[in-house]
Structures are given as structure tokens and as C-alpha cells.
Structure 1
Amino acid sequence: MSPSRNEPPEGQEERGEENSVRHPQESNGVGLNSHPTQNGRETALRTRDATNSLAVIGNLEDADVVLLLTPLMPQVSGDPDDTSDPFECFGRALESRHHRIRHLPYDNGSGITGTLRQFIRQSNVIILVLADSEAAGRTPQINVEHVHITVATAGDDKRVIIVVADSSSESWRRLDDFPTVIQAADYSRASLERTVKVLMLGAGFVTQPTLDVLSDAGIQVSVACRTLESAKKLAEGVKNAQAVSVDVNDAAALDAIVAKHDLVISLIPYIFHAKVIESAIRNKKHVVTTSYVSPAMLELDQAAKDAGITVMNEIGLDPGIDHLYAVKTIEEVHAEGGKILSFLSYCGGLPSPENSDNPLGYKFSWSSRGVLLALRNAAKYYKDGKIVEIEGKELMAAAKPYFIYPGYAFVAYPNRDSTPYKERYNIPECQTIVRGTLRYQGFPAFIKVLVDMGFLSDEPASYLTTPIAWKDATAQILAAKSGSEADLTAAIKTKASFSSEEEEARLISGLKWIGLFSDEATIPRGNPLDTLCATLEKKMQFEAGERDFVMLQHKFEIEHKDGRKETRTSTLCEYGDPKGYSAMAKTVGIPCGVAVKQVLDGTISEKGVLAPMYGKLNNPLMKELEKYGITMVEKTI
């Protein structure tokens, strides 16, 4: 599973290519490389920075002013009805790095006027954009004289960065006399936003879609892992990506690398997020995670606001897409004067039905330990206005068949604490609130037997420190007379209960399939839980050509203003592509990438520690996700 209500996030692995540029790439706060052609036109960015001026953008003082001078130009699309400033997005992207951006237009005919020269003298950094409107059917308007006047006015104590929005070699050649120049294909939003650089911490299955979303947008990404080799594996072959190594436990090293970027994506285990956010606060950089907001992260909210940064969280699948569409329906119903009487939300990351060919009906796309540990958690939810609590050891017994589509045999059980969602989703009127997990039928009963047998214990066991036959290990865990099949079965019957003889036979057979009755040697991990996990991961991995499957459904019981009752569902059903992304990677990684883009371009502009809990924040995310085919289908049943 993803970082979700079901399982805690784990460490993840990552993936750049060397890009050919005329001048050496500088290692600074604005990383730019070449990019393949698009629609027959070079979409590359290339950069020259002989005086290291670009690094200044990442190290400005609060009082410093950045002046952005952009020409009055029509939209790249040529739409005569679109009178908006095509450079507004560039200004907003710069504001994501520094809060004092002064954006002023100039006319190519009038050039750098006396008034503009006054603003140049009052600024610390000047970014001058030159645009060639040839693509719009106009005479080329790049005028190098504008650069000479700007540089002369700025003097030696100010940094001048030239951005030429034209991919021709002639435009680049005409600017050879100037030390700091960035060249983009044109002045489209996509080209201008390629001046942004992102640091991705962590390596794993969800990082590839995130990396691809950003890379396709031309955003420079540094893929960072503890080991350089892990980072290189993910960065290999990906445009606009480079591999680096960093240890997040080394605060000085983390600060050094964060300072060179505009935003940090933290896909490492959630216990490290607070350290990453603290570094981002010190360096005034934005952060995006797919994880739940922990108490330690929430404590940093005011510090993040004071630093002027956005820390966007809970934007994967679960949490993430589930929030987007829950809030959508809730806000729509409230806006019409209605009430949410009941809210059920269940999500499952599973093998596709045809690949669920083992006793648990489950396969591990990552650490089995996270999956099994989640099954020890207690659950808490609202039912008919009252709080219901279930102890962890009874969780599997609480699983019930759950109907979504006739073709799927699901069971569902509540997971962790659903009660805060009365406030988080702003549904104080709601009497039943359950957020939980979906599995295939048979899974809970099998897990319950393992719990009853003692296999989910992480208490140290000396006999599990060296390899022994599984049957002997099982006998020790059960305190059985011996490792014979008869004695093991008898011991299991004293600890577990079965609903029928058929169920008993099925579950005992499943235990044998795992190998718990066999002469096969254990892979010792010092306790029953981790030793079992080592075997499960070996036996229950996805094989080549197999696909995973994600099901997420919200069910709302609604009372409308006129008293009418309605049951409405919102459903996402996604299958993985064996030749592409898994369903889980797509539905976690793409929302993360989209959120990063929107933080960088200013669409998400609120500061502090955020989660997608209101429409103003969520609606642009949903609109963008639809372009990737990610949506939830709403129906009244």
C-alpha cells in the first residue's frame, strides 16, 4: 500500500540524464538543462552563469527586492480574446522562492524607460526577459540594447539575469557578452516554469510517476537517497533529473542541499518529515509530502507561516484523492442546505482478482511489516452518533462483507481513528463516520488465525535468531508438543476458533502453503513478526506481468434541504499496467507531482502546514488530475 490509512510509509528509491548544453551547468538554486524537442521545436532550457548569479536567488535576505521586467506580448496561443499577461506565471513562480518580487512590464518599442531605471536602482536582483514573438506571426523583437541599458543602470553591485524566451541559436549568440543568461523555447507557461528546481527525498515505487510529471513539465529534479546508487537507478534515463546522495540525519548536509532547491518532496518514512520541514523552514523552501500530518509536523505550522513557505501534505491516494472527493461532495451538499447523515470511506490496494492467487488474496508491493503492523491497530469511529472502539486484537473479527460492485468479493474493517473527520471534513451533523480498509474475502479470517497463534508479536525470541525448520519455529511459537502436523494442528485449535470445518480446513491449508508446517528453514529476524514477514515477502510478491488494483469508495447518506434522502457514492477503480505504472504508484505519485507543480506556480499559495480539506485548495488539484485520467465517479444509488 501507499502511505495511507492502512499502512505507514516506508523508504523509497529513486531515478536524469546528462544533457548537452553549450555552457557548463552550474550547481545552484536554479538548475537548468536541455530538454527534447516538442512539436518540432526545441523546448530546451540552457544556461550560462559565469558569475554564479543564479545562486543568489536561493540566498536572498528578507528585505531584498527582485525586479522582474517582462515585455508586453500577446499570449503564445495567439488568442486575441486572451489579454492576460503571459509572464504572470513566471512572476508567481518567483514568488514561491522569495516574497519581494516586483513585476513590471516594458514596451519593446520604448524599451527601458527612465521610470524603469529608477526601479532597477532600487532593486537587488534584476531579471530581464527578452521575448521573440515570431511564433505568433510577429516581427522578432529581441533587442539586445535593452540588456545593455539594464546592465549599465544596475552597476556592479547588482545581479542581472537575462531570460531569453526564444530557442534560436542566433538569439543565444547575440547574448554572448553577458555572463548570466537563461534560454527557453518560448514564453509559454511550460517553458518559463522550467526555471524551477525540486529536491526529491526518498526512493521507491511511488516516486517514478512523481518524477515523470515534473520532468515532463521541464522542472529540474534532484533525486536524493542515502546512497548515490539508489538515486541513480531512478534518475537513469529521465530528462531533467540528476542523482545526489544525502543523509537526512545530517542537518548540515540536509540544509546544504535544500538551500539549492525551490521545493522539497519528502517521500521518506514519515518519522523524518519533521526534520525535512525544519530544514525547509531554515532555508525558506516549500515542502510536499503524501503522508498524514503528524503532531510533530503540525507543531511547525506557525514557523512555516513565519518563513513564508507552503508545506503541502496528504496528497497521494489515501490520504489524498479520498480527501479531494469527500470534501467535494460535502461542500456541495452543504451549499444546497443539505446534511451528511452518514459517511463511509473504504480503500484497498490489492492484487487484481486474477492475480490474488494465494491464501490471503494479497501481495506485497513493499514491506509486509507495515501491512501486518497496521492490523494490530485499534479502531475508533462514530456509529449512529455514538463512538465505537475496537481493540487491535479484535480488529479482524470486526471485518464484514462490503458490497461495491457484484464482481468483487470485498470485506471491510475500520482503521485507526475516524472520529477527527467530523471536524476535519466539517460534518458536525454526521452520525456515522467510518474510514477503513478493503480486502478480499478470506483475508481477515486468515490474519486472525495468525494473530491468535502469536505470529504478529514482535517480542524478541532467541530461537528466531538462527535458521531452524519452520515446523520447529511454529511449535515454539505455539508451545506445541512437537513440530509434527498433528501436534501443530492441535495447538492451533486451542488458540484459534473457526466458523466451520470447511473454514478450518481452508485456513490450515493456507498455513501449510506459507510453509509453517514444513522443513524449510526460517529466515530469522529475531521475533515472530519479522521472521514471518521475511517468508511472506518471498512467497507473496507480484510476479512479472501481474497487475495490482486500487478500489476507493465513499458512500454518503444525504438529507436534502427539502427532506429528501439520497445515497450517493464516489468511486475510483484503477488497475495497474504491467508495462507502466502500478495502480498504487499512479494514484499516489501523480497527485504528489501535480501538487508540487501547483505550489511552485502559486496556484497553491497558502502558507503553513496544509492538507486538502477545502474546495479552494482542492478544486484546481482535481481539475489537473482529470487530465491524467484520475477521478472518482459519482452515482446516486
Structure 2
Amino acid sequence: MKNVLLFGAGKSATCLIDYLLANAPRQKWHVTVADSDLLLIKSKIGKSYYATPAAFDIKDQTERQKLIQEADIVISLLPPGLHIIVAKDCIQFKKNLLTASYIDAETRKLAKDIQKAGVLFMYEMGLDPGIDHMSAMKLIHSIEKKGGQIYSFKSYCGGLISPESNDNPWQYKISWNARNVVLAGNSGAIYREKGKIKEVGYQQLFDQNKTVQIPGLGKLAYYPNRDSLGYIDVYNLGEIPTFMRATLRFPDFCEGWNALVKLGLTEDTTKVNTDNMTWFDWTTQHLTLDKSVAPEESLSAHLGVSSKSKLIRQIKYLGILSEEFVNLGEQTNASVLQQVLESKLKMEPHDKDMIVMLHEIEFERRNMATKMHSYMIVQGEDNLRTAMAKTVGLPLGILAKMLLQDKKIELTGLHVPVMPEIYLPVLRELEDFDIRFEEIFE
């Protein structure tokens, strides 16, 4: 019996664990789930005969290496900064490694060692990055095979709240790592538009007010991702004039988040002593307010809105205009805000999330310009089996199955899933889980 080793039992792991355990009897494999939280692991694996919990600190080298040596394949859903210690062990013990995270600088330095070990490290094998790469490359290869010349590529993806659960002024609830939500976009963005490099700073990122139309949903706002340019070569699009990857949100979210950024509440470098500080004082710590008017009126004036505006309702909803004390000790503003979001924007048991992805590709073929819209909408089941958990976890599970079945995948080295032998079977099986794309041509 083969052994699948999964590091991490958090929000994104639920549907992956379900998939691995559902396939275990037929595929004759056993699943070991490693996490520091034993109760969390048990809540995900239940009483399955095919699963074993392994509760320990990932930095415990002896226990970690013992599990990796016993594994036939390793999947990591750990926080990004912890992948590297797993990666080094996988090189040492010659184990294939799959993860949904971006390839970082430290991992890139290991590329020659990964190749020398003769193993496959497939990074960016989740949703975004992951399904975005696979679906984009399927379209790009198809267009190019038919003689089309692509001159504009835009890709958008967002983890959103489903319409029936959209019941707060932010039009958003947390369905994945809250810290990543707080820090999203903090390095600004760079992309290419009509042959020119465009750079957007963090302070301007959320006030672009740009939207795209999604069939059945209407207009969604977007902001460009941190570094689109790095993927031009990955997609083999050379000197393409327009190339951008972006994140989708409901428009109200971007307006509210823009205010939080301007107020300095997403800052993550300087620590603030929040003991004996009121929430209103924390929210307005960087402002010089007009003392002659009510505090809320003063804040409204600073933001350039009415005290009865939607923006003030959003800030009030988070509870950060109250005169109650914060009393969270010394923390960065981003850490405080994270705790606020986890409390005020949490998904309730009955809530459902939604993933929306859209590719807009403009190309010319036989002197005729064509614009293609390829979009995907995935609905979650509840606050555990979310659309986010499905779309992050299932691609990892499907590729793990392909590798364990010896599907003649001869890839070795460090990769992201842009090759047909990976994306074609993975996208095909994802359709069995209602994860599919629709296409519209103009």
C-alpha cells in the first residue's frame, strides 16, 4: 500500500483530504495528515481506516524526516514560509512534492538539486496559482495551434461570497487564510498594457474602480496582482503588448479596503501597543481630527464621505469605531485587523462561498480580430467544503493520483502546471466536480 503524506490540515485541505480518502480503497493507498493540531486533523479524517493523524511541530526534524522517508508522495499545504524545510527533505530522500503555493526565491535556488535528485516538484498546483495556469495554457495552445496570434491576455480570479450568503456591507467573508487577505497587494502591482509597463503602488491599488462583466453575476471590481510580468515567459507569450493577472472582488469591498489602506490599518512592520487604546483611537491613530465636531463626523470628513455613507457603515460593521478598548497587547496593525476580520467577516456554518475566474484573450487569425471570454464559477457547499477548498485541493489530489498510478509522467525538476500532459487530464477530471469553463466569443 502506497503512502500519501499531507502537511497541513487547514481550510484548504478539507476537500483534498476527502478526495484522497474517497480514492484510497480503489487506489490502495494510505493517507498521513500532519499538522500541529490533533483535533483539527481528526475533524478532517474522521474515523477512516485509510488515514493516520500525525500531530507534531513541523520544525521537529526527526519526526518530519521519518514521515517523508516513509511517503511515496508529499503534498504541502503549510504556510508558504515553511515549504522550504519540507522541500529540502524531499530532495534528500528523493520524494515528489506537490503544493499550491508560488515558487519563492529560496525554492528557485534548489532547482538544480531537484533536477539532480530526479524528482518532480510541482508548485502552483491549486487555484490561483494553479487552475488559472492550466486553463490559460489550454486556451493559449489551442489558439496558437490554429494559427492565432495573441496580443492581449488578461486573467482574473477571486474568492468571493456566494449571492445567497452576501449579507454584510463588505460583500465579503473569509474563506481562506485571513492573513493573506490583510496583506494582499501590499507590494503593489506591475503589468503590461498596450506595450507599456504599468506600475501601481499599494496606496493606489484599490481605488482603480475598474470592473469586468461576469455572466450571471454582473460587474465585479478588480485590482492587478503583484507581478504579472513574470508569467509572460511562463506562458511563452514573448512580446505580447497587454498582459495582466488580477484579483476579483465585489465593488463595495474595494472601496472599503481602500479606506483601510489609507488609514494605515494594513501596515505590518511597526508594532502598536493597543492596551488601553479604544477601537476608535486605533482606527484614527494616523489622523489629526477636528475636535470641534463629533469623532465620527471628523473621520467622515477626512475620508471625504457622509457620516451616513456606505463606507462609514462598512467601518462601523467591523466594530472599529467603538469606544471599547482593544487590549490586544503589542501588535502590528495588520495583525489586529486580521483578528477583526476573523471575527466580523467569518463564514457561518450555513454560508457558501464562490470562486470566479475569467480569462479575456484577444487574438488575430486570418486577419480577423477575436475576443474570447472563458469563465468559471464554482459554488461551495458550506463553510468547510468551500469552493476555495475544492479548487485549491482537488488539482493537488488529481495530480497525486496520476503520479501514484504511474501515468508515464516523465517530468522531473521544478515546474508549474503549464504542460499538456498535466493540464489536460487534471482539467478533465475537475469537470466531474463541476469545475468547468464556459466560453464566449466576440
Deviation at 1:574, TM superposition (A): 0.9
SS of the residue aligned with 1:409?
strand
CA distance in 1, matches of 2:66, 2:401: 23
In structure 1, runs of 5+ residues without a counterpart are 1-194
Select 1:578's aligned residue among 367, 382, 385: 382
1:216 paired residue number: 22
Indicate if the aligned counterparts of 1:463 and 1:473 stay in contact, CA closer than 8 A.
no
1:591 aligned onto 2:427? no
2:184 paired residue number: 374
Bigger Rg over Cα: 1
1:515 aligned onto 2:325? no
1:487 paired residue number: 295
1:206 aligned onto 2:12? yes
Tell me: CA distance 1:631–1:407, structure 2 relative to 1, closer, same or farther (3 Å): closer
Indicate if the aligned counterparts of 1:315 and 1:588 stay in contact, CA closer than 8 A.
yes
Indicate if the aligned counterparts of 1:514 and 1:535 stay in contact, CA closer than 8 A.
yes
Tell me: CA distance 1:489–1:463, structure 2 relative to 1, closer, same or farther (3 Å): farther
Q: In structure 1, what residue type is equivalent to 2:334? A: L
Aligned pairs, number: 436
Greater shift in the superposed pair: 530-539 or 257-266? 530-539
Q: In structure 1, what residue type is equivalent to 2:416? A: A
Tell me: CA distance 1:488–1:458, structure 2 relative to 1, closer, same or farther (3 Å): farther
CA distance in 2, matches of 1:530, 1:479: 23
1:625 paired residue number: 430
CA distance in 1, matches of 2:169, 2:51: 41
CA distance in 2, matches of 1:493, 1:610: 51
Indicate if the aligned counterparts of 1:377 and 1:415 stay in contact, CA closer than 8 A.
no
SS of the residue aligned with 2:199?
strand
1:531 paired residue number: 336
Deviation at 1:283, TM superposition (A): 0.9
Deviation at 1:519, TM superposition (A): 2.7
- 1:416-427 correspondence to structure 2 within 5 Å: 416-427=226-237
1:52 paired residue number: none
2:115 paired residue number: 305
TM-score (norm 1): 0.65
Tell me: CA distance 1:379–1:497, structure 2 relative to 1, closer, same or farther (3 Å): farther
Indicate if the aligned counterparts of 1:418 and 1:435 stay in contact, CA closer than 8 A.
yes
CA distance in 2, matches of 1:549, 1:329: 23
CA distance in 2, matches of 1:221, 1:620: 23
Greater shift in the superposed pair: 224-233 or 293-302? 224-233
Indicate if the aligned counterparts of 1:379 and 1:414 stay in contact, CA closer than 8 A.
yes
CA distance in 2, matches of 1:579, 1:386: 42
SS of the residue aligned with 1:364?
coil
- 1:87-166 correspondence to structure 2 within 5 Å: none
Partner deviation per Cα, 1:556-581 (whole Å, 9 max, x = no partner): 10111x11111112111011112872
Q: In structure 1, what residue type is equivalent to 2:301? A: K
Deviation at 1:405, TM superposition (A): 2.1
CA distance in 1, matches of 2:293, 2:185: 27
CA distance in 2, matches of 1:626, 1:462: 48
Q: In structure 2, what residue type is equivalent to 1:590? A: L
Select 2:166's aligned residue among 344, 356, 369: 356
In structure 2, runs of 5+ residues without a counterpart are none
CA distance in 1, matches of 2:413, 2:2: 21
1:614 paired residue number: 419
Indicate if the aligned counterparts of 2:176 and 2:388 stay in contact, CA closer than 8 A.
no
1:557 aligned onto 2:351? no
SS of the residue aligned with 1:442?
helix
Partner deviation per Cα, 1:230-271 (whole Å, 9 max, x = no partner): 333322233411101233323333211110111111100111
Q: In structure 1, what residue type is equivalent to 2:362? A: E
Partner deviation per Cα, 1:50-89 (whole Å, 9 max, x = no partner): xxxxxxxxxxxxxxxxxxxxxxxxxxxxxxxxxxxxxxxx
1:325 aligned onto 2:144? no
SS of the residue aligned with 1:478?
coil
Deviation at 1:340, TM superposition (A): 0.9
2:406 paired residue number: 602
Partner deviation per Cα, 1:338-385 (whole Å, 9 max, x = no partner): 111111110010111232222221111244332121132311001001
Partner deviation per Cα, 1:400-445 (whole Å, 9 max, x = no partner): 1221225333111111110122211011242111100110012122
Indicate if the aligned counterparts of 2:283 and 2:320 stay in contact, CA closer than 8 A.
yes
SS of the residue aligned with 1:279?
helix
SS of the residue aligned with 1:362?
coil
Q: In structure 2, what residue type is equivalent to 1:380? A: I
TM-score (norm 2): 0.92
CA distance in 2, matches of 1:491, 1:217: 56
Aligned-residue sequence identity (percent) comes to 33
SS of the residue aligned with 1:342?
strand
Indicate if the aligned counterparts of 1:223 and 1:244 stay in contact, CA closer than 8 A.
yes
CA distance in 1, matches of 2:272, 2:384: 43
Q: In structure 2, what residue type is equivalent to 1:591? A: P
Select 2:278's aligned residue among 453, 466, 469: 469
CA distance in 2, matches of 1:463, 1:306: 50
Indicate if the aligned counterparts of 2:175 and 2:383 stay in contact, CA closer than 8 A.
no
Select 2:97's aligned residue among 287, 300, 304: 287
Indicate if the aligned counterparts of 2:35 and 2:58 stay in contact, CA closer than 8 A.
no
Tell me: CA distance 1:585–1:478, structure 2 relative to 1, closer, same or farther (3 Å): same
1:567 aligned onto 2:371? yes
SS of the residue aligned with 2:382?
coil
Indicate if the aligned counterparts of 2:348 and 2:383 stay in contact, CA closer than 8 A.
no
Deviation at 1:505, TM superposition (A): 1.8
Select 2:222's aligned residue among 396, 409, 412: 412
Indicate if the aligned counterparts of 1:485 and 1:517 stay in contact, CA closer than 8 A.
no
Deviation at 1:523, TM superposition (A): 5.2
CA distance in 2, matches of 1:334, 1:557: 12
CA distance in 2, matches of 1:549, 1:523: 34
Q: In structure 2, what residue type is equivalent to 1:213? A: Y
Indicate if the aligned counterparts of 1:315 and 1:321 stay in contact, CA closer than 8 A.
yes
CA distance in 2, matches of 1:402, 1:226: 41
Partner deviation per Cα, 1:28-63 (whole Å, 9 max, x = no partner): xxxxxxxxxxxxxxxxxxxxxxxxxxxxxxxxxxxx
Tell me: CA distance 1:263–1:405, structure 2 relative to 1, closer, same or farther (3 Å): same
Q: Which one has more relative contact order, counting CA pairs under 8 Å at least 6 apart?
A: 2
Indicate if the aligned counterparts of 1:467 and 1:524 stay in contact, CA closer than 8 A.
no
Indicate if the aligned counterparts of 1:591 and 1:625 stay in contact, CA closer than 8 A.
yes
SS of the residue aligned with 1:397?
coil
Partner deviation per Cα, 1:134-166 (whole Å, 9 max, x = no partner): xxxxxxxxxxxxxxxxxxxxxxxxxxxxxxxxx
Indicate if the aligned counterparts of 1:453 and 1:492 stay in contact, CA closer than 8 A.
no
CA distance in 1, matches of 2:186, 2:297: 24
Tell me: CA distance 1:353–1:467, structure 2 relative to 1, closer, same or farther (3 Å): farther
Indicate if the aligned counterparts of 2:154 and 2:245 stay in contact, CA closer than 8 A.
yes
